[in-house]
Every structure is written in structure tokens, then in C-alpha cells.
């Protein structure tokens, strides 16, 4: 009761939002689970059943999408962290024009995702996309002919997903940069001064001070960005529509297969992958920090 009286104003302000979010989440989650575990046949509805999960396990399209999604996440998430760290280390120091550089780096967030995806669709179009024109030496600023025939970027699963990943990393990099930048600015300069006084090299300073103290920010980036990469829809849908990931396969199962039950089953599988990967990231970074602090 004392806690409620002390924080009454904050509780009153936040209660409607919390109730709305929790209620909305629980209702949707309950309905998704119900549909995923229900199989409707001529003999009637069967609940609960793993029928749809068994069907998906034998579906080659689902298995291919499952593998693609894992690779897309395993490559895309570290890339977002690396690019965010590189950008943060670039702008953390004082230099002339730093404000302008920061503003330019945040610019991708101002562009709607679908606009970015359509821009990449045009740039990597076949046969007359801008990338093909450049590589074939059709522009005066780059007269070198690297390829003789245009590349069908979206006609290859590998290239289509790489272009999708490029768009995803480019657009979300500012978020990673801002989180890492906040972590860097939270590290006391006194620790760097002490390390310099003791004769520590830049390599030792990075691995003994910066990296261990930066692991909470890195964990935040990896968790938030991995969740976004797991469920990425717009870039793969527009740029790699013939090579679906799990998120785009949900849309296909609902609209093309006319099977909302299997769509919900795929959504639950995707949710399980997100939960497992989040736990693995937390445990891995916790182990990494113990190893770095022990050095």
C-alpha cells in the first residue's frame, strides 16, 4: 500500500497504456494459439492438435523459408551491431562538423521503410537498374565495364536476400548507433585516463575497458535488432518475394494458401525462435563479459 501511495500518480498515468497493451497482446496471442492448434476436417474441428506443425514440417516451402530466416538473422543481426558500433565510434569524439555527420547518419530513419524498399527495387532492377548500368560502364563517372550482361539481382535467392539485408541494415543502423553511442558516453573518462597512465595500449584499453562496459548496450542492440530481423517483412516481401522468409510466408499462408491455421502455426514458430535467440544472446553476452573482466 505504501508503494501505491508513493507512486500513485505514475500508476494512474501508466495503467491505461499497460492494460491496453497487455490486454491486446493476450487476446491476439490466445487467438493465434487457438487457431494454430485447431484442425478443421469434414469430421469436425479437432483441438488441441499438432496437425499443422506436422504438415509444415513436411512442406518444402516452409523448410526453405525456415533456413533462409535463420541465415538472414545470423548475418543481419551482427551486421547491424557492427555498423552501429562503427558509426558510434566515428561520431563519439569531438570534431568539426560532428553534428552534421550525426544528422546524416540518422537520415535513414526519416525515410519510410516501404520507400527505401522501392528505391532498392529500382536501383537493383533487371535489366535496366542503376547498379547494372554502373557495372556495365554506361555512366561517364564510372566508364569501366565490369560485367557484360545485366545481373538479375532479384532472380537469385542469394542476391535477393542480400539486397533485402542491405536495405534492412542501412535503415536500422541509426538505432544501433544511438544505443552504442549512449553506452560509450556513459563510460567514465577517468578510466581511460587511468589506463593511459598505466601504459595500456589502445588494444588493451578497448578489450579491458570499452568492450566490457559496452556489453549492456551491445545486448540491447542485439536483442532489439534480432527481434526486428526475425520478423522483417517489407524488404523481403518487395525485394525477395519469390524466396520467402517466415514472416512473408505467414502472409502467403493466409492469402495464397487460404489457411489461417497454418499461418498462425508459422507465427508461433517464429515467436519461439525469437524467444530462444533472445535467451541465447543474453547468456552469451553474460559469459563474454565475465571472460573480458577476468582478463
Domain ranges of the chain: 37-294
CA atoms of 152 and 155, how far apart (whole Å)? 5
> Nine-digit cell at 145?
565495364
pLDDT, average across residues 189-213: 80
Q: What DSSP assignment string belongs to 22-48?
A: HHHHHHHHHHHHHHHT-EEETTEEE-S
Q: How confident is the model at residue 1 (pLDDT cuts 50, 70, 90)?
A: low
From 3-12, 206-215, 231-240, 282-291, the region with the lowest mean pLDDT: 3-12
Nearest to 70 by CA among 287, 272, 235: 272
What dotted CATH number matches 37-294? Answer: 1.10.3720.10
Per-residue model confidence (pLDDT) at position 277: 92
**Between the ranges 14-18, 27-31, 51-55, 64-68, where is the mean pLDDT highest?**
64-68
Q: What are phi and psi of 153, to 5 degrees?
A: -60, -45
Residue 46 pLDDT grade (very low, low, confident, very high; cuts 50, 70, 90): confident
Q: Tell me how far apart the alpha carbons of residues 182 and 279 are, in angstroms, rounded to a whole number.
A: 23
Longest Cα–Cα distance of the chain, Å, equals 80
Q: Could you report the per-residue pLDDT of 102-119, keeping only the tens digit for each?
A: 888 888 888 888 999 999
| Nearest-angstrom CA–CA distance, 77 and 228 | 9
pLDDT given for residue 292 in this prediction: 67
d(CA 87, CA 178): 9
Amino acid at each position: 500500500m505504501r508503494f501505491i501511495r508513493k507512486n500513485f500518480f505514475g500508476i494512474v498515468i501508466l495503467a491505461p497504456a499497460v492494460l491496453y497493451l497487455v490486454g491486446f497482446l493476450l487476446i491476439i496471442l490466445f487467438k493465434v494459439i487457438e487457431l494454430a492448434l485447431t484442425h478443421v476436417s469434414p469430421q469436425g474441428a479437432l483441438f488441441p492438435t499438432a496437425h499443422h506443425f506436422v504438415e509444415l514440417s513436411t512442406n518444402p516451402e516452409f523448410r526453405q523459408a525456415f533456413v533462409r530466416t535463420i541465415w538472414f538473422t545470423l548475418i543481419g543481426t551482427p551486421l547491424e551491431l557492427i555498423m552501429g558500433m562503427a558509426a558510434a565510434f566515428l561520431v563519439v569524439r569531438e570534431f568539426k562538423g560532428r553534428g552534421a555527420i550525426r544528422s546524416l547518419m540518422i537520415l535513414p530513419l526519416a525515410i519510410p521503410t516501404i520507400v527505401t524498399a522501392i528505391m532498392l527495387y529500382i536501383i537493383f532492377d533487371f535489366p535496366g537498374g542503376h547498379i547494372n548500368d554502373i557495372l556495365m560502364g554506361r555512366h561517364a563517372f564510372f566508364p569501366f565495364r565490369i560485367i557484360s550482361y545485366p545481373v538479375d539481382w532479384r532472380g537469385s535467392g542469394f542476391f535477393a536476400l542480400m539486397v533485402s539485408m542491405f536495405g534492412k541494415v542501412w535503415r536500422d543502423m541509426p538505432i544501433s548507433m544511438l544505443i552504442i553511442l549512449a553506452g560509450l558516453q556513459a563510460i567514465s573518462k577517468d578510466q581511460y585516463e587511468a589506463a593511459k597512465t598505466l601504459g595500456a595500449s589502445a588494444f588493451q584499453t578497448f578489450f579491458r575497458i570499452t568492450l566490457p562496459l559496452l556489453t549492456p548496450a551491445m545486448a540491447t542492440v542485439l536483442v532489439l535488432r534480432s527481434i526486428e530481423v526475425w520478423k522483417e517483412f517489407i524488404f523481403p516481401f518487395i525485394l525477395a518475394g519469390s524466396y520467402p522468409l517466415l514472416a512473408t510466408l505467414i502472409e502467403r499462408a493466409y492469402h495464397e494458401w487460404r489457411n489461417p491455421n497454418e499461418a498462425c502455426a508459422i507465427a508461433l514458430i517464429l515467436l519461439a525462435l525469437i524467444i530462444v535467440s533472445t535467451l541465447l544472446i543474453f547468456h552469451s553476452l553474460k559469459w563474454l563479459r565475465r571472460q573480458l573482466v577476468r582478463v
